[in-house]
Amino acid sequence: MIEEFKKFALRGNVVDLAVGVIIGAAFGSIVSSLVSDIINPIIGAITGGLDFSNYYFPLSSKVQTGLAYVDAKKQGAVLGWGAFLTVTINFLIVAWVLFIAIRGINRLKTNEPPPPAAPTEEVKLLAEIRDAIKAK
């Protein structure tokens, strides 16, 4: 059973998948940082200090208005639409980057089938015999 598991775990597809998941997680962290540390501050500067991460609707009367989102969540139920908007922007950026990367990879691939192989000497000889018989 251990040998069978080793065969399964070390097959190319499983290892490739594991590498993909690890790289995807690292890439997700980079994109999260890009959105939260670069894109959102730029949007905030353009819109006059707008910070999406602290926008929410209180769903409980216990939540005081004007608190930071993290503090408001501690007081009661809140609908954090700003945090959701940030995650949505993260997703759109990841999807766009992956689209561009896959599009580039697909352009590098050649979809043209290889030219047919030249006929062998035997096939050429048979074709000559056929043509000679047709000519008679």
User: What CATH number does the domain containing 111 carry?
Assistant: 1.10.1200.120
Q: What sign has the CA pseudo-torsion 77, 82, 85, 90?
A: negative
Q: State yes or no: pLDDT of 101 exceeds 90.
A: no
pLDDT band for position 12 (cuts 50, 70, 90): low
Domain count, the chain: 1
14 vs 57, residue with greater confidence: 57
Strand partners, 57: 79
Per-residue pLDDT, 78: 92
Whole-model pTM: value is: 0.54
Percentage of the chain lying above the pLDDT 70 cut = 97
Q: Which of 13-22, 36-45, 74-83, 85-94 has the highest mean pLDDT?
A: 74-83
Residue-number span of the structural domain to which 64 is assigned: 2-135
Secondary structure class of 10 (helix, strand, coil):
coil
Per-residue pLDDT, 131: 92
Q: What is the mean pLDDT of residues 39-51?
A: 77
Q: State yes or no: pLDDT of 130 exceeds 90.
A: yes
**Which DSSP symbol is given to 57?**
E
